[in-house]
Amino acid sequence: MAAQDTLFSVLYDKFLFWSIIVGVLTFGVMVLFMLRFRDGVTPDTSSSVWKIEPGTFPLESDNHSRDRKLEIAFYVIPTILVVWLTFLATSSTAVVWGSANDTSIDANHQFDVTVNGYQWYWEFVYEDALTWEDEHTGMDVEFRNVEGDVVLHAMGLDPHMAVITIDGVKQEVMFNGTDMMVVDGVYFDAGLHMKVEILDDEEHVLHTWEHLPVGHIFRTPTEALVIPCATIDMDDSGDDEDTKLVMFNMHSKPIDDSDPRYVGVQHSFWLPEFGVKEDLVPGLEDGTWMYVSPDDAGTFPIRCAEYCGLQHSMMIGEVKVVAKEGKTCDADIGIQKADVGVVEDDSTDGGGH
């Protein structure tokens, strides 16, 4: 699961630990008092032995000089516990949400997507280009603009057909029993949406390569949001453009601009598997911000966590985490549950979703 090593998961474990401690102590004392002061037990009248009078607050009892310590404990112990849990919660929240305004993060390490919420669908506008390719399939797509062709490497996996889509125009080419195909007259254009899919004889997709240009738009529920994972360089070339986080700038917009008084409704962009969500506030010009730094490739659900009208249940979608071309999602950049404390590390061994 994408959220199993996020800051929120670590925070959940710590809260669960302290909840168990408090529960054991509370129920333990409760059982002790039930047995000690049950009906039929003769009370000990010795003043040298600590006792408690049921239904009487310590300072109201005859033994208040000894019970003062108990009264102080009633305040001190819960206060310490609340302060400690508050520290854990606020420090984790500051790390997660504070990164949205962290000027130390280089633009090359940040991938920006604008999220617009309508009644009732999500719209994703790409502020950065993304070129990605499936990992570990044994296949490769290579555009050669000098030669004016694209080379499809299938590595003996018995491909049947390739579908090349450029700006919505599809071209089908057959492998005819070969492991490699060269398709002439195909050029890579960074300004166009380009996609290559290699299929088997039952038209199951074996491998996907795709380029999403700046300004490209996906809309739910028919299209999935595609974002890069936090990556490392496969060839160890020292590339300084590894993605560390994906930043969402989110806006609530009206479906109909004819009435300027209507500015949309409240939505909440929720990624359950990542353990994060944030409200989309209508009329907020700069929008709201949220980020993730996923290290697990896969497809995960998108939900709306704020009731936004009669078709609120239709505000669903999917986010597909992929590796940038030439990169891999094999690196585990997440915070491990076994780590002590809630710490974010910018190296490949630390960091949060």
How does pLDDT run along the chain (353 residues), one tens digit per residue?
455 556 666 777 788 888 898 889 889 988 987 887 777 766 666 655 555 555 555 555 555 565 667 777 778 888 998 898 888 777 766 665 555 555 455 666 789 999 999 999 999 999 999 999 998 888 999 999 988 999 999 877 789 999 999 999 999 999 988 888 899 999 999 999 999 999 998 989 999 999 999 999 999 999 999 999 876 554 455 455 677 788 999 999 988 877 777 888 999 999 988 888 899 999 888 899 888 888 888 999 999 999 999 999 999 999 999 999 988 887 666 554 344 333 333 333 333 33
Residue 82 lies in a domain: yes
User: Could you tell me which of 101, 126, 90, 119 has the C-alpha nearest to residue 286?
Assistant: 101
User: Could you tell me which of 347, 250, 245, 244 has the C-alpha nearest to residue 302?
Assistant: 250
Residue 93 lies in a domain: yes
Residue 84 lies in a domain: yes
- What is the amino acid identity at position 110? Q
Residue 68 lies in a domain: yes
Q: pLDDT tens digits for 130-150?
A: 999 998 888 999 999 988 999
Distance CA 315, CA 265 (A): 13
pTM of the model: 0.72
User: Could you tell me which of 114, 127, 126, 125 has the C-alpha nearest to residue 251?
Assistant: 114
Q: What is the pLDDT of residue 312?
A: 94
Crossing angle for the helix pair 64-98 and 7-36, nearest 10 degrees? 170
176-184 contact pairs (CB < 8 A, 24+): 178/154, 179/153, 179/154, 179/155, 180/151, 180/152, 180/153, 180/154, 181/151, 181/152, 181/154, 182/149, 182/150, 182/151, 182/152, 183/149, 183/150, 183/151, 183/152, 184/148, 184/149
Total Cβ atoms within 10 A of residue 274:
24
The residue segments making up the domain with residue 54 are 7-99
Take residue 60 and report the two structure tokens written for it.
Answer: 């109201």
Distance CA 52, CA 70 (A): 10
Residue 71 lies in a domain: yes
Peptide linkage before 159 cis (omega within 30 of 0): no
Structurally, the chain folds into a number of domains equal to 1
> What DSSP element (H or E) covers 288?
strand 288-292
Counting runs of H as helices and runs of E as strands, what totals does the chain give? Answer: 2, 20
Four-point Cα dihedral 93, 99, 104, 107, nearest 10: 170
**CA count, 13 A, side-chain hemisphere, 161:** 11
Distance CA 303, CA 117 (A): 11
Residue 223 lies in a domain: no
Residue 59 lies in a domain: yes
Strands (E), 220-281: 225-228, 232-233, 245-252, 267-271, 276-280
Beta strands across the sheet bearing 180-184: 140-144, 149-153, 180-184
SS3 sequence of 19-80:
HHHHHHHHHHHHHHHHHHCCCCCCCCCCCCCCCCCCCCCHHHCCCHHHHHHHHHHHHHHHHH
Whether the Cβ atoms of residue 36 and residue 43 lie closer than 8 Å to each other:
no
Residue 261 lies in a domain: no
Distance CA 155, CA 87 (A): 54
